[in-house]
Structure 1
Amino acid sequence: MEILTSEFFQKALLGGLFIGITAPLVGLFLVLRRLSMIGDTLSHVAIAGVALGFLTGVYPLVAGIVFSIAASFAIEKLRKAYKTYAELSLAIIMSGGIALASILFTLGKSYSMNVNSYLFGSIYTLNSADLWIIGGVTGAVLIVIGTQVKELFLLTFDEEAAAVSGLPVRFYNVMISVLTALIISVSIKIVGALLVSALLTIPAACSLIIARSFKQSVIAVVVIGEFALLFGLIIAGVWNLAPGGTIVLLLIFILLLLLASRRGLRLFN
């Protein structure tokens, strides 16, 4: 239990606290808009940015953010080009991100030991610079969502009505993509690029089971996200487990528990 009082573990908890708010919150909008796979797409692009950061000496987290934001603009551009097959934009960008990352990884040898920390997460290695970046992204996301929640609500549930009412739909679509890119970029060091989409989608899936309104969904998704991240970290720390995998499995357990409870209530009634 000494690990719970360690400085590195306290930093991990603080980083988890930040991500536990923003990732599920933005993920709720993505799930409701049927854009769940954007998390996987941008996470693979972010890894390419991280790889380039190692090669060029740029801070990897910053390089990942730049790549993810650029990819978010590209996704929106392709979505407009393929209106009937919008999911093609995600497949194209994801393929490009994986291909670029694989090439960049083969160009460098000295940083190969660091690859796993970004693929599977390494929350215990968060430093003060990481926390400042994560905290800044968290603050920016909360400010944007807090001031634009009505517009985002309308866009999420009826994009055509939003356009008719004069809402700049394209601007808000890009804004959501950029917010997603920021969150994914700072989350890959916590749960890893291969698992980061779980933070966006599973809390949202849980909230859709128990919530009866959009407001309840927002509250539920944040509560579930925070619970899974903080308790997942504690469980992983005490039993020496992989933090990212523990957090995701805890989220899946919560989802299965909620599904079983709903089924049980239906049978009882």
Structure 2
Amino acid sequence: MNRALEVAVRASVGAVAAAAVAVFLPIAFGLMPDRFFGASCTAGEALGTRLACYRFMWNTITVGVFIGIIGPMIGTFLVHREMALIGETLAHTAFAGVAFGTLLFAGTGWDVRLLLVALGAAIVGALGVQALAKRTGSYGDVPIAIVLTGSFALGTLFIDLGGGFAFVDINSYLFGNISITDDRSVTLMALVSLAVVVVVSLAYKQLLFITFDERAARVARVPVAGYNGLLIVLTALVIVGSMQILGVILVAAMLVVPVAAASLVAGSFRETLYTSIVVGEFAVLSGLVLSWLFELRPGGTIVVVAIACYLLAVVRTGRTGSAPTSH
């Protein structure tokens, strides 16, 4: 990565962090004064749009900003460990949790309780993958395929048991729906994001050590199993928080595609981490704007923008992907 690009990436990450602390965390916790929304509405109307006048739009943007941070953050570790498909597995496990939660709370519609049930299911699925992987000796295709297909099968059975869930549009879970990002969901996403960022910051050195040389980490008496479990639980948190906008089918893309694009231009693990966050934020915000303008599903639009960034990086570098080996 050349010096100018590195400076631009670090400045962008700083701007994202500042905006998250100064704007989006206060919105998530209901601390932003009404005059902020009034001023935003006035500014939007001056630009010919009333989108900024709707609170659910701010909820959606807030959740999107958090997704753009924690998705690539966790995804960087997963991609470097060749565990990219684990996100897809946990997404389907979370879907089974949502289906079961809807069966429990039939008639209540979308509720933050569904996210909590989905989170529990995703964590159970994550630990199940880890247990099967330990039995088979690696994070191979077999344990991932078993948990992925099994959890989705359970989800479909729960749907049938609930009579098709007439009270809840199941497509909202499969493809994402910005209208379900209510205040409680946004607050939960903020808490999840804070937890992920704090834990990764505290355990960064250990996670990095295990990512690049798990055998040496064992020799150094690093509790590898514990950190593997921690990483997979963090992945479950990211998946459940992100499925509100992206949906089950596409949520794993935000763990992989921004990192794949960043790895083509970055020269180290840390540069990949920072660059992937920038790519993730660009994909989320651009995708949301395009989805509003052309009345498209936000999940698909966000992922298409992210893939476009990846293809642009491929054209620019002439490579299709290789993870940086330096820290």
TM-score range, shorter chain: over 0.9
Query: Relative contact order (alpha carbons < 8 A, sep ≥ 6): 1 or 2 greater?
Result: 1
Return closer, same or farther for 1:100/1:192 CA change in 2, 3 Å cut-off: same
Q: 1:133: which partner in 2?
A: 188
Q: 1:236 aligns with which of 291, 297, 309?
A: 291
Q: 1:61: which partner in 2?
A: 115
Q: What is the CA–CA distance in structure 2 between the aligned matches of 1:54 and 1:135, rounded to whole Å?
A: 23
Q: What is the CA–CA distance in structure 2 between the aligned matches of 1:75 and 1:173, rounded to whole Å?
A: 11
Q: 1:257: which partner in 2?
A: 312
Q: 2:232: which partner in 1?
A: 177
Q: 1:78: which partner in 2?
A: 132
Contact 1:24 1:221 in 2 (8 A): yes
Contact 2:75 2:84 in 1 (8 A): yes
Contact 2:88 2:148 in 1 (8 A): yes
Q: 1:15 aligns with which of 58, 63, 73?
A: 63
Deviations 1:153-196 (A, max 9, x none): 11111110111111000000000010001110111111000001
Contact 1:54 1:60 in 2 (8 A): yes
TM-superposed deviation, 1:123: 2.3
TM-superposed deviation, 1:8: 1.0
* Matched letter for residue 82 of structure 1: T
Contact 1:4 1:234 in 2 (8 A): no
Aligned residues: 264
Matched, 1:25 2:73: yes
Deviations 1:123-157 (A, max 9, x none): 23200110111111100000010011111111111
Matched, 1:103 2:157: yes
Q: 1:201: which partner in 2?
A: 256
Q: 2:143: which partner in 1?
A: 89
Matched, 1:41 2:89: yes
| TM-score, with structure 2 as normaliser | 0.78
TM-superposed deviation, 1:239: 1.9
Is there any run of 5+ residues in structure 1 with no aligned partner, and where? 265-269
Q: 1:267: which partner in 2?
A: none
TM-superposed deviation, 1:23: 0.8
Q: What is the CA–CA distance in structure 1 between the aligned matches of 2:185 and 2:193, rounded to whole Å?
A: 12
Q: What is the CA–CA distance in structure 2 between the aligned matches of 1:86 and 1:8, rounded to whole Å?
A: 41
Q: What is the CA–CA distance in structure 2 between the aligned matches of 1:263 and 1:38, rounded to whole Å?
A: 28
Secondary structure at 2:66's aligned position in 1? helix
- CA RMSD in angstroms comes to 1.4
Sequence identity (%) = 36
**4+ residue stretches of structure 1 with deviation over 4 A?**
none
Contact 1:4 1:237 in 2 (8 A): no
| TM-score, with structure 1 as normaliser | 0.95
* Matched letter for residue 171 of structure 1: G
Q: What is the CA–CA distance in structure 1 between the aligned matches of 2:131 and 2:240, rounded to whole Å?
A: 20
Q: What is the CA–CA distance in structure 1 between the aligned matches of 2:303 and 2:144, rounded to whole Å?
A: 23
Secondary structure at 1:139's aligned position in 2? helix
Is there any run of 5+ residues in structure 2 with no aligned partner, and where? 1-48, 106-110, 320-327
Return closer, same or farther for 1:219/1:65 CA change in 2, 3 Å cut-off: same
Secondary structure at 1:36's aligned position in 2? coil
Contact 2:83 2:139 in 1 (8 A): no
Q: Whose helix fraction is larger, Structure 1's or Structure 2's?
A: 1
Larger Rg: 2
Q: 2:54: which partner in 1?
A: 6
